[in-house]
Every structure is written in C-alpha cells, then in structure tokens.
Structure 1
Amino acid sequence: MSNPELCKGMKFPNGKVFRAALREYVVRKPVDIKFKLNEKTKVSIHCKYECGWRVYASQIAGELTFQIKTMVPTCTCRRTFKHRQVTSTYVARKYLDDFNKNHYWAISGVKHRVMQDVYVDLSINRVYRTKRKAREFILGDERLQYGKLRDYTEMIRVTNVGSKVILQTEITEPNTQPKFKRMYVRYNAQKVGFLEGCRPPVGLDGYHLKGKFGGHILSATVRDGNDNIFPIALGVVEQENNDSWVWFLQTFADDIGRPDELNLVFISDRQKGLIPAMEMLFPTIEHRFCVKYIYNNFKLNFKGLELKATLWKCATVTTVREFEKRMQDMKELDKEA
C-alpha cells in the first residue's frame, strides 16, 4: 500500500481498500483525477485534463471484492506541484508516526517533507489543518474525553485516597446534557509533600489551553527542599478572571489550609482578576510580583543591560534604605525609569 502498482484484473478485499490504493497510486504517478462515478459498488475515474488515463472498478457479484475492470495506465500530462488527492487528512494519516514523535513539527518541516516524498507543495492553511487533524488522530475526540471526566474523578477518589477532586458542570439550555465548567485536582502526595517539606512562597499562574474548547489552567506551585518545582494543585476554568481566581483560591485554602495559619507568601504575575481576588480573600497575606514578569514589561520601554542589572539590584535588596539608594541609581541612569 505504500507504493501500489495497479493493473487491469487486480482485486481488492473491498471498496475501502481499493480507494486507499487508488489514492496512493495517483499521488505517486502523479495523476490528478476526477471522479465520473463514485458509488458504493462501482468507481469510475479519469484524468482531470482528459489525456486518456482512466480506471473503472466495480464490486464482483455476490462478494465484497472490488476488481479493476478497465484501465488505461498512460498519462501524458506534465507534472504539477498541486494535487487534490493530497488532502490534510491524507497527509495527517501518512505521517502520523512523525507527528506523534514530534508534536512541535514546524510548518516548514511538514511542507519540505511532503515535497520531498510526493512532490506536492502544500499551502500554509492546509499544513495547519493537517497538524490539527493529526492531533485529533493522536489524542482522540476532545468532546468524548470531556464525557469521561466523571469516571476519572471517581477513579482518583477510589485509587488515591486523600486526594481532592471537584468537578463542576452547568446546564446552558433546558433538557440538554450538562457541560463542563470547572475542575480542581489535588493528589494526596502533593498535600503531604507540601506540608512536610516545601518552602512557604506559593507561585500562582495561569496558562491558556490550546485545545478545541479553550479555557485556562490555574496552578499553585512551590519549591521543595532541593529547590525543585513542586506542584500543589491545579484548576481548569472557563477563563482567567476574578470569579475563577476566587473559586480556585477559596478551594485551595479549604483544601490545604488557611494561608495565614501556614504563614504562606504568594508570588505571581499581574494576572487578570488575581489581585482583587487576593485582596478580597487574603487581605493580610503577603502578595508579591515576580521580577521576571516585571522586567518583561520594563524592557519594552527601558532597554539595555545596565538598566536590567539595576532593576535586579533593586529587587534583591533587603532593607528600605538600600532599596531607596538603588532606585536613586536607576533614576540617575534614566529619569523616566
């Protein structure tokens, strides 16, 4: 099937196998085809440019077997770098193993590979569709996966005693199935490890989900005794806003323990809705911003290694007096900064 050679009288187990072999054959030749008949029991095709090349195959009476009854194998058309049979689905299935091994396969890499193998120049849009379909083939239907979340949450509760899983759904229209809204997951080992061997600063962050249905992941992470990142809990929400952060932080506090009792300190970027959520839930808890994200905004208007070094010196001092001195140094370098 990787390089079939068709001839008159050749038989195939069924129509599906015949069509797959035909597609591979015309791509390899290449012959850009047009269907005259494309029925369940018979198929008739000819060259799109009417050069005389044609194939007719039909189902043998009383069997599922397909047989080529007529074939004119000579095509005199010149080669082009376009072919309608090289669809996004065809390319995704053909190179499925490559997509599976390299989830970040570049657009240019896919185009080059297809051109090298079958001499077809794919458009950028077709490559994007190919990558999306390859992802669907590898990961499965995302809609069906959401339907398995109830079983997944129950399995965690049964097999990982001490874990906490909350699954929220909502009904958007009357007499319809409930839809996924939010989810909170914290395994037992995460809580035990955090309370017994991790440092008090808790990092809060949000990430876009790039799947079909979008959403955000909210996470809480810390550093363990070896200075490695240790995740505590995560939540999947519809979007990153004040309501979702309040829900996640309130659930986190009810699950792990009150931040004031555990002497926690929160560090984050200026995420949407996070600052008012922290002020409402934990007004007395220390909440600071990550210098890395501050610098990402800082460098848009204030460039240069000297200003960068001065900013970090301001962030690392431990006394008010030293901080004011460092800030004065920055003003002397750039008054606007």
Structure 2
Amino acid sequence: MSAKKIIAICQSGGEFATNKEDGSLYYTGGEAYALDLDQQTLLKDFKHELSETFQCSVEGMTIKYFLPGNKKTLITISKDKDLKRMVNFFKDSDQVEVFIIAEEAVARNVSNMPASRSSRTTVSEAVVPPGGSQDLIHAHDQPIDMEEPIDTSPLDIYDEKHRRAAIQWENTITGVDQRFNSFPEFREALHKYSIAHGFTYKYKKNDSHRVTVKCKSEGCPWRIYASRLATTQLICIKKMNAKHTCEGTSVKAGYRATRGWVGNIIKEKLKVSPNYKPKDIAVDIKREYGIQLNYSQAWRAKEIAREQLQGSYKEAYCQLPFFCQKIMETNPGSIATFATKEDSSFHRLFVSFHASISGFQQGCRPLIFLDSTLLYSKYQGTLLAATSADGNDSVFPVAFAVVDEETDENWHWFLSELKSAVSTSRQITFIADSQKGIRESLRDIFGEACYHGYCLRYLAEKLNRDLKGQFSHEARRLMVQDLSAAAYAPKLEAFERCAENIKAISPEAYNWVIQSEPAHWANAFFGGARYNHMTSNFGQLFCSWVSEADELPITQMVDVLRGKMMELIYTRRVDSSQWTTRLTPLMEEKLQNEASKAAPFQVLLLHGSTFEVRGESVDIVDIDHWDCSCKGWQLTGLPCCHAIAVFDCLGRSSYDYCSRYFTTESYHLTYTESINPVPNVEKPVNGELEGTAVIVTPPPTKRPPGRPKMKQADSLDVIKRQLQCSKCKGLGHNKKTCNKHNAVDNDVQELIF
C-alpha cells in the first residue's frame, strides 16, 4: 500500500506580517506552487524540487511551517526527521502551508530598507518640532562612533555593485499628487530618494499637518511640499521643484552612517535570522554599501534593529500585569504572578502553565531539578527553573521565574510559588545546589515532605575550588573522579573504598568529603528517590531555550519559552502516539539490557518472597518489597538483572515490577494537556492596558558595557590546569617567577662579584 500524500502549498518571495487582533502571523505577497509530499520524501529531494520551482539556490534555503492551530510560531525543517514529522502532523488535513526563505530573498529585503550612503551630514528621518527650521538627527541616528568617523566613500565613485542597492530608490518620489499613507512613510521615501540621487536636505516645516523640505546646498532650488489630503488621512505631495543646481557638491563630503541607519538596513534580515551576528552585519554592510563598521558599531546597530522589531524593554515591563492576565485567561489553571518593589520597579515573575502542572502531577515521577541561569537582556536578571523528568528520561519544564537577582529571598519566594502550583501528597525529591538559601527554603516550605539531593556538579566544583593551590592538576582531577565514584556507589563498602582513595592523596580532602553531608549526595546514604540522577543541570534543554531568548524584552522572552514548551508538548504527544511497547522506548531498552544479563544466574528460594541469586556475586532479591542487595532496582526504578532472573524462574513478567512512571500510559498522561498561544504579546491592542492599576518599571540594574561573558561548559572533568614550577615544584608560578629559584641565583651572583 502506497504512503498517503499531502499537498504542500509552497510560498516564496513574500513577507510575514502580524495580525493586530490576535498577534498571529500571516504571509503576504510572493508566489505559490503546490507540491506533493509523503513519509518517504527526502529533504534534499524536496529542496531540489523547490529550487527548480522558484529558481533559487538550495544553499541558504530555509523551509518553515506553522503547527496546526498555531499561527504564531514558525517551525524550521532542517533534516529528514523534521520533514517526516511535518507530514505526520498534517496527515488528517491533507495539505500544509510551507514557506521558503531563500538567501536571495533575504538580500532583496535588506536592500529595500532606507540607507544613507556617502555624506557626513545625516539625512534625518526624525520629526521636527512644529515650526522648526533646522537639521534634525533622530534619537537613534546619533553617529555610530562619536570619536572616529566611519570609513565611507562618495556615492559618485561607487562601483555598480555598491550602487545597486540604491538604484531602486530613484523613483520613490515621483512628483506632485503622489500619495502616502502617513508622514513617516513619506519621510522614509524621501530618505531613499535623496540617497539614490545623491543629495542632502533639511526640513523647513515638519509637523503633523505639513512638511516642507529643501536641498541643503546653498542656492539650490530643489524643494518639496506635502500635506494631509483634505477629508482623508492620506499625505499628498502638493508642490515639487525637482531641479538641482548643486550638482551633488554636498555629497562629496560623504554621508555619516548612524546606528539607526544600519539598524533600518538589517531589520528585515534580523527578523528572518535572529542569530544574525555582528561580524556578519559588518561584512554585509561593507559588501552592499561600501561602509566599514567595527564589531561594536555593528552590535549597537543590531540592538536598535532588535528594539524596532521587538519593542521597548521598558514597555515590556509596563505590560507585565496585562501579560500575566492573558496567560491565565488563555491557559486556565495556569499561574502567572509578579511582584514589584516599593518604588514600583520589577522584582520577580513566576510562571507555571496548567499543562506543566497537570503533566507533572499525572505522569512525572516526584523528582524536580532546580537550576538558575543568568539573563543578558538590557536589565539583566536571573531565571530560576524547576524541571522534572518524563517517563522517557527527557526534560519536562514545570515552572520558571524571572528575578532581578539570585538571592536567598528570591529562591524562597520561587519555592513557595512552586509548592502552591504543584501541590501533591507525594514526597518530592529535589536535586539542587547545596547553597544555604535553597537548603533552608526547602526545609521551611516543604518540611519533611521532601528530600534534598545535592547537585554533584556543584559539589565537585566546590571541592576543586577549595583544593586549588594545594595540589597539582592531576591530583585534583583524580580526587574529583573519586568523589563522583563515591556518589554513584550503591553500597557503603564501595563508598568507603572511594573515600579511602581520596584519603591516600590528601587527608584534608578526605575530611572535606566526610563533612560535606554525604547523606545528601551519596547513593549509599541518600533516602530519597532520584532515579540515579545526580546533577541539577538535567534541564539543560530548557536553559538552552533561555539562552536563545534571554536578550528579548521580558514578555517576549517568556512567550518564546511558552512557544518552545507548546511545541515540545505537541511534538512528544504526536511521536508517542506511535509507540507500541508497554514501557517508553528508553526504559524498554534499559530493561532489555538488564534481561540479557540474567540468563546465566542461578536462583534459589530462601523463604517467602526472598530469593538468592548466584552469579559472579551472590545477591538477595525480595520481590514483594522490590528490593535487591545490589541496589540497582531501588536506584533506577527498573528491575535489575538479578530480579529479572527471579521473574524468569517464576514465570512472571518483569513489566509488572517497573515503576509506573516509565510506562507509555504515564507518558501519555504527561503530555495530555496543551499550552495555548497568548495573543498580542508584542503590542497589546489600544485600551487593553488601561484597566491595569499596577505600574511596573524596569529594575535599576542594567547590563554592563562590553560583550557578555559566555557560560562555561558544565562538566565534572573541566579543571583548569595550574602552573607548576619546574625548579621548586611549587604551584601557581613557573621557573621565571619562582622566588626561591631567583633568590638562590641572586645569592650566587653576590658571591661571585
């Protein structure tokens, strides 16, 4: 039987626009063709067919589509699995809209933006105050470098490659009776027209009713007058003298590029490629316009373009009350709450969607990972995250908070909100840092109803930090390895062996390990059920989402995370609908791996439900209490090979003795609920903010100057090697800076002379 085909309505050459009513996206303009797809279609074949259809290159081609019922989040197809998943999503609807964004289209969009080219006098796009008669510079059109000019070239000596971007602007102004929808549209057209024809201008009149502009060159008769068309909102050119006598003399001074100018140029490409790098911006501006930018100039221009696209950071804080209200309206059962300080500045925001709350309560094991990540937006801050593990051992976001800074007080507030969100009678195990604020907050809020497992990654970092300067790199590396082995050791004897290995290197390090409360991190002592998860960075997937969106205004960053979670839940629900096994695929694989080891074991009945299993070692299995002396069954939630040997001997099914959280049924319960879109996140409809009585202003902290520091890789093995002197064997210096060695040399020289 042939695979079912769906019709792909492929569109290219247009652009995305936003519906002001609900914030959804729609595609306008361009061409459309219909192609058929099925589960056997390969991405490279699909791209080749699209390339022939739209006459564009396969290289640089991007393919996107909307999920069913969601017109706000574009999904990218980058591999064959993505294409098959899209076909599966739309198998019931028979057709799907696909959008092709080609590299050439991006270049065209970029070249269509206004730009000044070659005059040190800024061509202003700003609005002059009523009655003004002066040259204006927009707030964003401050020179990009206040001390040194940007390397520019006069327009009249541009080669054809650099001039091509401005040629198409020659007819943006055509003459008298030409109409525009608004004054900003007219000013933008005028800006382009002046670039294409190589002259600068200044405003004589510029208000909400009329605009009069003349050539800036003294004595040149070129001028234009536009005003509002009577009884309409249209702007019409009433008078125009198109003759120039200046012969472009003013152009030879060269335009002075501005941050706002470059921001306008790159805005469209940044919309398509959010990860547009400053160095790529500089290369493109040099290639297209012949203007040399350094890295910081390109970075600042990107910031302005991003603010033009995403809105103001300050306005985003003002929208928080409206945004929280919309989250709870569109996702009933969700929690979205915020708090401000006495001066109305932002303090913290907590969000937990109903789909996350329900998924954790219905299908996830009672295990929560607590972690934090710094935000690099204009006002900085920290994101606190609570994630869990689903039945297939994948990350499941439960709740998150944005706080002005990571403090004990903010952690206490976050955990209080978390408890009210995931209220459950189950005893929860938390994996988190051992810092005082988290430890005391968990004890105060959850009391005896929880276990706190210290994160092994933080513990290893602390050991390495405390030992730095005392031991060589190799010695510290071995002690961290032994610490990790001690944490994973299931029995007391194995833990003690690892501790003795540390003691052999350093008794001080051994004492450090013993005093670090092994009952909170070592399997041999820990009382909670953490299913062999030892570090709190299990939710690394969620943190990677944050790193992609942490420079956005706060409301948009939260909405990006919501979109990622919505897509994750939908995708996993669809994928799991094809599963036929009783356990999830990963747990099924682990169980089969244990079963393959059980064949050579000998099983002896001791009494009741207790059995002795003999192999390379002798282990005792109690099937009624789900217990084995090897501790593998208790630590993982899956029967170990010794227990499976007993089940095979008794003719019982191993599946009956697996944790219910690993079943496909529980997995389905985890992803039953959906997260719904939140409309008008970017720009609320007029009047929607008027009913909010609470005023929220940005926090006082701002991002420091310079490039943000990259977060280091999270690994237990990353230990920075220290210098070691080859003379005295001391740490922290080399032979050139060795005080002992240099002192001896000085003494010898004194004796000689």
Cα deviation code 1:231-283 (max 9, x no counterpart): 1112222221011111111121233226xx42211112356833443344346
Of all paired residues, the percent bearing the same amino acid is 24
Listed as ranges, the gaps of 5+ residues in structure 1 are 47-51, 173-177
Deviation at 1:316, TM superposition (A): 1.9
Deviation at 1:130, TM superposition (A): 1.2
Deviation at 1:37, TM superposition (A): 5.8
The code of the aligned residue for 2:493 comes to R
Partner Cα distance (1:196, 1:60) in 2: 65
Written as runs of structure 1 = structure 2, the 5 A alignment for 1:287-298 is: 287-295=452-460
| Corresponding position of 1:278 | 442
Higher RCO, Cα 8 Å, sep 6+: 2
Do 1:7 and 1:68's aligned partners in 2 also have CA atoms closer than 8 Å? no
Q: Which of the pair has more CA radius of gyration?
A: 2
Partner Cα distance (2:193, 2:499) in 1: 71
| Corresponding position of 1:252 | 418
Written as runs of structure 1 = structure 2, the 5 A alignment for 1:151-300 is: 151-172=322-343, 178-257=344-423, 261-269=425-433, 273-282=437-446, 284=448, 285-295=450-460
The code of the aligned residue for 2:402 comes to V
Do 1:55 and 1:70's aligned partners in 2 also have CA atoms closer than 8 Å? yes
Deviation at 1:129, TM superposition (A): 1.7
Cα deviation code 1:173-206 (max 9, x no counterpart): xxxxx55433222222222211221122211122
Partner Cα distance (1:295, 1:254) in 2: 32
151-160 vs 248-257, which moves further: 151-160
The code of the aligned residue for 1:220 comes to A
8-17 vs 281-290, which moves further: 8-17
Partner Cα distance (1:319, 1:53) in 2: 94
247-256 vs 270-279, which moves further: 270-279
Do 2:198 and 2:251's aligned partners in 1 also have CA atoms closer than 8 Å? no
Deviation at 1:309, TM superposition (A): 4.8
Do 2:223 and 2:241's aligned partners in 1 also have CA atoms closer than 8 Å? yes
| Corresponding position of 1:329 | 501
Inter-CA distance 42–136: structure 2 relative to 1 (3 Å threshold): same
204-213 vs 89-98, which moves further: 204-213
218-227 vs 190-199, which moves further: 190-199
Do 2:389 and 2:396's aligned partners in 1 also have CA atoms closer than 8 Å? yes
Do 1:241 and 1:273's aligned partners in 2 also have CA atoms closer than 8 Å? yes
Inter-CA distance 77–235: structure 2 relative to 1 (3 Å threshold): closer
The code of the aligned residue for 1:214 comes to Q
161-170 vs 269-278, which moves further: 269-278
Partner Cα distance (2:397, 2:174) in 1: 63
Deviation at 1:60, TM superposition (A): 6.3
Deviation at 1:149, TM superposition (A): 2.9
Partner Cα distance (1:99, 1:286) in 2: 46
Inter-CA distance 113–288: structure 2 relative to 1 (3 Å threshold): same
Partner Cα distance (1:141, 1:129) in 2: 15
| Corresponding position of 1:109 | 280
Do 1:9 and 1:68's aligned partners in 2 also have CA atoms closer than 8 Å? no
Inter-CA distance 95–169: structure 2 relative to 1 (3 Å threshold): same
280-289 vs 261-270, which moves further: 280-289
Inter-CA distance 62–204: structure 2 relative to 1 (3 Å threshold): closer
Partner Cα distance (2:371, 2:422) in 1: 17
Give the number of aligned pairs: 320
Deviation at 1:299, TM superposition (A): 6.5
The answer as to 2:311 corresponding to 1:143 is no
Inter-CA distance 279–68: structure 2 relative to 1 (3 Å threshold): farther
Partner Cα distance (1:315, 1:79) in 2: 70
Root mean square deviation, CA, Å? 3.8
Partner Cα distance (2:354, 2:227) in 1: 63
| Corresponding position of 2:153 | none
Listed as ranges, the gaps of 5+ residues in structure 2 are 1-111, 113-164, 207-211, 230-235, 510-753
The answer as to 2:206 corresponding to 1:42 is no
The code of the aligned residue for 2:296 comes to N
Partner Cα distance (2:435, 2:221) in 1: 62
Deviation at 1:152, TM superposition (A): 3.1
Indicate the SS of the match to 1:96: helix
The code of the aligned residue for 1:244 comes to N
| Corresponding position of 1:175 | none
Partner Cα distance (2:507, 2:271) in 1: 53
Do 2:266 and 2:302's aligned partners in 1 also have CA atoms closer than 8 Å? no
The answer as to 2:266 corresponding to 1:95 is yes
Indicate the SS of the match to 1:252: helix
Inter-CA distance 193–60: structure 2 relative to 1 (3 Å threshold): closer
Partner Cα distance (1:55, 1:91) in 2: 30
Inter-CA distance 332–76: structure 2 relative to 1 (3 Å threshold): farther
| Corresponding position of 2:240 | 67
Deviation at 1:160, TM superposition (A): 2.9
Partner Cα distance (1:248, 1:17) in 2: 47
16-25 vs 111-120, which moves further: 16-25
Do 2:204 and 2:213's aligned partners in 1 also have CA atoms closer than 8 Å? yes
The code of the aligned residue for 1:185 comes to V
TM-score by length of 1: 0.76
Deviation at 1:221, TM superposition (A): 0.5
Indicate the SS of the match to 1:315: helix
Deviation at 1:124, TM superposition (A): 3.0
| Corresponding position of 1:315 | 487
Among 164, 188, 195, the alignment partner of 1:20 is 188
Indicate the SS of the match to 1:262: coil
